[in-house]
Amino acid sequence: MTGARTDVEQVERANTAFYEALERGDFDEVSDLWLDTGTRDALDEDDAVDSSDEETAISCVHPGWPVLTGRGEVLRSYALIMANTEYIQFFLTDVHVGVAGDTALVTCTENILSGGPPPEGGGELGPLVGQLVVATNVFRRTSDGWKLWSHHASPVLAETDDEEGEESPS
């Protein structure tokens, strides 16, 4: 990593690395890219906690899912998704990076192509499915680079992303 890289470039690389790790099904890399605040959030996997004791618990929303909070819940969800995904590719568009102090906010469109495991009779892949998803990813600057604090992804159900006065969702 060259010293001349700007914050925005570094954040964009971290964001890209996250999706590439998902494409490879690289669970260790995905785990490493999520903020690790030590063991603090291991205690609250099943409780909503708002004490200032664990100020940076990670959170994650997959498309259509409720909020997952803490490394336990979040990483288990990725293990589950990886186990049920034979193939996944993200074509990122509309990537927008903002940085303020030690926090970065990335919005992007995830054009997803994915397939499940092969059907029972064998074969190569389950049917490929395309999905249009938008994501807001929040990163924190750490001594080990930019790490994900929050990922929120959701399906785009409206028919347009051009705002020309008729942007009401159908």
Size of the site for its own copies (CB under 8 A): 63
CA distance 73 to 100: 28
For position 156 contacting its own copies by CB under 8 A, the verdict is yes
Q: Determine which residue in the list 5, 6, 113, 128 makes contact with its own copies, applying CB under 8 A.
A: 6
Contacts of 115 (CB under 8 A, 6+ apart): 85, 86, 87, 88, 125, 126, 127, 128, 129
CA distance 92 to 133: 10
Q: Determine which residue in the list 3, 64, 122, 123 makes contact with its own copies, applying CB under 8 A.
A: 64
For position 131 contacting its own copies by CB under 8 A, the verdict is no
CB 133 within 8 A of CB 109: yes
What residues line the site for its own copies (CB under 8 A)?
6-8, 12, 45-46, 48-52, 54-57, 59, 61-69, 73, 76-77, 80, 84, 94-103, 105, 107-109, 134, 136, 138, 140, 149-150, 152-158, 160-161, 163, 167-169
